[in-house]
Each structure stands twice: as C-alpha cells, then as structure tokens.
Amino acid sequence: MRYLFEGYELDSSRRELYRDASVVDLAPQAFDLLDYLIRNRERVVGKDELITAIWKGRCVSDAALTTRLNAARSAIGDSGETQRLIKTLPRRGYRFVGTVQQAHRAPTVAVTDSQSAAAKPDLPLPDKPSLAVLPFTSLSSDPEQEYFADGMVEDIITGLSRSKSLFVIARQSTFTYRGKAIDIRQVGRELGVRYVLEGSVRKSGDRIRISGQLIEATTGAHLWADRFDSQLNDIFDLQDQVTSSVINALFPQLERAEIERAKRKPTENLQAYDYYLRALWSFYQFTREQNVEALRLIRLAFELDSGLAAAYALGAYCYLQRKIFGWTVNVDQDMTDTRWLATRAIELDKDDPTVLVRAGQAIAVVLYEIEDGVALVARAHELNPNLAVARITIGWEHIRRGDIEGALEQFHGGGRLSPMDPFLFLMQTGIAFAHFLADQYEDGSSWAKLAVLDRPNYLNAQFILAACHAMSGRVAEAQAIGARLAKARPALRVSTLASKLARVYKPEHLEKITRACRVMDLPP
C-alpha cells in the first residue's frame, strides 16, 4: 500500500519514505510509527496502543517514544511545535491529521511528480456515512425504461443529498460507470465511499419491477435488498413512489450499518462520531438504563467535537424519550439540559433535517414550547419530505387544532414512508388517539394494541387503549389497564393530567379524555 500526502509517499510494502524522487532516511521504528499513525488516521491512537504496535509490548520509556515521534515528524517536515501532520492530543494520544490518498499499485522506482499525477490513488473515506448510487441497469430493450431508470437514480441521489448526515456522490461521477463491468470494492475505493447502491429496472407488459441492493463497498457484503412492483399507468408517479420507498428503506439500513461499524471498534479508541453512533444504538433500545448510557456517550462525543450538531440534537432527544416513557427524575434539570442541547444543536446547524426534527420535538414536548418546536419540525419536513419521523409531530399538531382527518393522513403517511421505523409505535399511538377522538373506539383499540405489542413499556399507548375501552363500554378491561398505569406512575391524577392537557387540546377533546380517565378509575 502507498500513502501520498504533501509531496511525500510512504510505501508500506517497500518500507520506504519518498520526498519527490528521493528516499528519505528514516529509522525502522520511526517508520513503523509513521506508518501506523497514517493507517489509523481516522482515530486517535493511544500511547499504550502505539507502544504495543511498534515495540510489541516491550517496556519502553516515554523518552523513547518521544524520540521516535520527533524523528517521524522531522522526516515529513513537521515538528512538535507546529504539529501540522502529527497532532498530540494531551492525555489521549496521537493522530495523523494530514490529507492522505491511497494507491494499491506499487511503483518500480521512486515516484516522480508526473508519475504521481498518473496514478489513481484511493480517496479517503469521509467522517460520516458515504454512499454512491450507481446507474440502474435496464433489463428491457425499451429506451423509455432507461430514461425512467436514470431519472429515478437522479431523484434518489437528490433525496439522499438532503440529509447533511450523509456524504452522497454526485450523479456526474457515478454515471461514469454506466455499462461497465465493475467491482463494487473498486468503486468504493475510487469514489471514496463506504456504501454503494445498485439496482435494475424490468418491464413486463403493463407491469414494472424495480430491484435495489445496498452493498458495503469495503467488504462487498450485502446489507439490504428489496424490490418494488407496480402497474405502469403513470411512469412519473411510479418513479416518485419508488424513489421515496428506496430512500426511506435506505436510511435505517445505513444507520444500522454505521452503528454496527462503530460497535466493532475498541471502546478506548472511539472518536466523536463513533460515540454518537453508539449513543444512537443505546437510544434505540428504549430502556431507562440505555437512555442514561446514551447521554453519557453523547457527552463524550461533544467533548471531543464541540461542533457536532447531531450529538447535541440526540441529547435533547434523549430527554424527550425520558419524558414520554416516564423516566424523568428532576423535571427542572431535564428542562434546562434540553433547552441547552436543543439550542446548541440549532445554532450549529440550521439546515440539517434530522437535527431540526429532534430539537423541535424535544422543545415541543419537554419544554411545552409547542409553536416553536412545531415550526422547527415543519422546517425539517420542508427540507426533507421523506423524513417520516417529522410526520409524528405534524400529526399531533393537527390533533391539537382539531383536524382529525389531517392527523390521520400524517400518521398513515409516516407509516407508509417508513414501515420498519423504530418510531412506528408513536405513529400507531397517534392513529389510535385520532380514532378515539372521532368516536371510532374499535379502530382506536386495534391501533393502540399494535403500539403496545411493539413497545410494551410505552405507557401512553396503554393509556389510549384503556381510553378506547372505557368509551366503548369495556369498563373492566379499561380499569385493569388503569390500575397498571396508576401503579407504574403513582403521581398520575385526573386533575393533574387535565391541567397539563388543557394547554394542548381543544376543550371538547379534553372533556372526553377526562371522562375516559374517570371510567378507568384513575385517582382524582
């Protein structure tokens, strides 16, 4: 492997360092140290790890490590004062921070400037999920299908590019691979991406089938595959439908893949983004203990990178999770922390839909600043109409205004956009509540049961189920659930609940909720 940076080339197979066409003299251990830092440049390398890698665990003094480090810096025109390429992070370790390009073909002689220009070095991977969408293959001789496939790929690229948490290669680059027999791993190296999406289009009579698969380019492993079948009535409507489906299927898969990648790293070598990914995994466990762990990891993330907006937004989201699951211990402290985290996230990035929706929902639910929170979520929805989780807040806002049909449209729309969404239980609860307010208690019960089955510890879904039973005459079932709710939340009182909800719901809706609570036999 060859590493190119600032006019230097480090050839790990030949164990040589070049500056232009000349070999730079470098002692073996200093070379090993430089090579190790460059190969692990995406993270901070601790002192103990470096000693183990270079000296194979032998006991060496700090002075010996400093001597080799200074020699490596001197060989590449760096120093301990400037730290232009090798940075020391006090009490944490060392990191190579220069821009590096990789090339697999080893030269037969020292590389000259012209030879370096002719080589095709690998591009480094970005510090966030990176994706290339290749041209879809048309399995039909109909030229119209090729235009359709191209347009769909362009729409998928545009849709994915709306998320600032993704690094998406532009169409002009990916379409250079059209019609070529390619190795996905080579595509990943040449475009500098971790994931590649490829697919095909097949037409048969008046039906069309779109197939897609997501591949981890670094390993060639298949992470996700799906197909979409439809009638070919309006090709443009179908294009929009398939594009939306692919985008919303991809986002959870990419997120899961990144979380799994972070989990495979040794915990002592994690950097800010990897801490964020681990926090996201903990958040999605939906337990009190993992909520605490998520907040711990989030603090580690923004201590390392104070500009990581996603970490602050996820932190605010953790306090929202505490609120809706009933895990709050100190209300005032949680509100203070939520306000700081949400405000900081928005200050850092006003245009990332995921940041906006998480901060906005936290502001609306934890701080009760509903108008401000909903405005942020609406902005997120404008930036990314495919963001299913935004539909939750928009749906509840319709309920707050008394627009039950509008609420159902939003909740159902979110479920269609992301049928495997980890927040599907919230959409199901919203649908159940909308049916409750519309006097459709059996439908409400059915949807509430789905939410309870999905997330048994989400007590709001159990409350809606009990309310539907109460208003439909199934009093014994309603009271049984009410007793469980009162035991789980000893502070729950009809009067307290009514006082809180009065700030949110219309008087007639509040009156119906209160009646249901009395039938459930909740404490007054």
The residue among 96, 118, 140 that closes a domain is 118
In angstroms and rounded to an integer, the radius of gyration of the C-alpha atoms of the chain is 28
Question: Is residue 185 left, alpha or beta, with left meaning phi > 0 and alpha meaning psi from -120 to 50?
Answer: alpha
Grouping H, G, I as helix, E, B as strand and the rest as coil, residue 445 is: helix
C-alpha–C-alpha distance, residues 470 and 215, integer Å:
50
In a domain, 239, yes or no: yes
Q: Examine the pLDDT at 24 and tell me if it is beyond 80.
A: yes
Pairing of strands 221-231, 137-138: unpaired
Same structural domain, 106 and 185: no
In a domain, 401, yes or no: yes
Looking up residue 161, the CATH number of its domain turns out to be 3.40.50.10610
Same structural domain, 136 and 114: no
Pairing of strands 137-138, 195-204: parallel
**355-366: average pLDDT:** 95
Tens of pLDDT, residues 446-483? 999 999 999 999 999 999 999 999 999 999 999 999 99
In a domain, 260, yes or no: no
In a domain, 317, yes or no: yes
Grouping H, G, I as helix, E, B as strand and the rest as coil, residue 162 is: coil
C-alpha–C-alpha distance, residues 396 and 391, integer Å:
8
Q: Which of 52-61, 133-142, 164-173, 439-448 has the highest mean pLDDT?
A: 439-448
Residue of 363, 353, 364, 345 whose CA lies nearest to 389: 353
- Give the count of beta carbons closer than 10 Å to the beta carbon of residue 247: 23
Same structural domain, 460 and 327: yes
In a domain, 476, yes or no: yes
Same structural domain, 353 and 235: no
Structural contact between residues 129 and 195, judged by C-beta atoms closer than 8 angstroms:
yes
Looking up residue 105, the CATH number of its domain turns out to be 1.10.10.10
Tens of pLDDT, residues 486-513? 998 888 898 988 888 888 888 999 999 9
Q: How many domains does the chain have?
A: 3
Count Cβ atoms within 10 A of the Cβ of residue 507 and give its class: 0-12 exposed, 13-18 middle, 19 or more buried: exposed
Tens of pLDDT, residues 172-217? 678 778 777 778 888 888 888 888 988 888 877 777 788 888 888 8
The residue among 66, 96, 118 that closes a domain is 118
C-alpha–C-alpha distance, residues 450 and 432, integer Å:
9
Q: Which residues contact residue 148 at a Cβ distance below 8 angstroms, ignoring those fewer than 6 apart? A: 201, 235, 239
Q: How far is CA 131 from CA 65, 128, 184, 276, in A?
A: 39, 10, 12, 19
C-alpha–C-alpha distance, residues 367 and 390, integer Å:
18
- Taking each continuous run of H as one helix and of E as one strand, the counts in the chain are 22, 13
In a domain, 259, yes or no: no
Residue 91, both tokens: 């009490």
User: In the prediction, which pLDDT does 13 show?
Assistant: 74
Same structural domain, 382 and 505: yes
- Phi (first) and psi of residue 119, to 5 degrees: -70, 155
Q: To which residue do tokens 């009156």 refer?
A: 511
User: In the prediction, which pLDDT does 117 show?
Assistant: 36
Q: Which of 12-21, 106-115, 394-403 has the highest mean pLDDT?
A: 394-403
Same structural domain, 112 and 135: no
- Phi (first) and psi of residue 420, to 5 degrees: -110, 20
Q: Examine the pLDDT at 122 and tell me if it is beyond 70.
A: no
Same structural domain, 188 and 208: yes
Beta-strand ranges (E) seen in 55-114 are 86-89, 93-96, 101-103
Grouping H, G, I as helix, E, B as strand and the rest as coil, residue 211 is: strand
- First CA to last CA across the chain, in angstroms? 73
Q: Examine the pLDDT at 104 and tell me if it is beyond 70.
A: no
Same structural domain, 223 and 156: yes
Element of type H or E holding 361: helix 353-365
Domain span at 159: 130-249
C-alpha–C-alpha distance, residues 462 and 449, integer Å:
8
User: In the prediction, which pLDDT does 484 show?
Assistant: 93
Same structural domain, 402 and 496: yes
C-alpha–C-alpha distance, residues 292 and 329, integer Å:
12
Same structural domain, 92 and 179: no
In a domain, 427, yes or no: yes
Same structural domain, 149 and 296: no
Residue of 57, 88, 59, 60 whose CA lies nearest to 72: 88
Looking up residue 391, the CATH number of its domain turns out to be 1.25.40.10
The residue among 55, 85, 118 that closes a domain is 118
In a domain, 415, yes or no: yes
Q: Quick one: what percent of the chain has pLDDT higher than 90?
A: 33
Pairing of strands 93-96, 8-11: unpaired
C-alpha–C-alpha distance, residues 437 and 459, integer Å:
19
Same structural domain, 182 and 236: yes
Residue 512, both tokens: 């119906």
pTM listed for this prediction: 0.60
The rounded Cα 337 to chain-centroid distance in angstroms is 22
C-alpha–C-alpha distance, residues 279 and 312, integer Å:
11
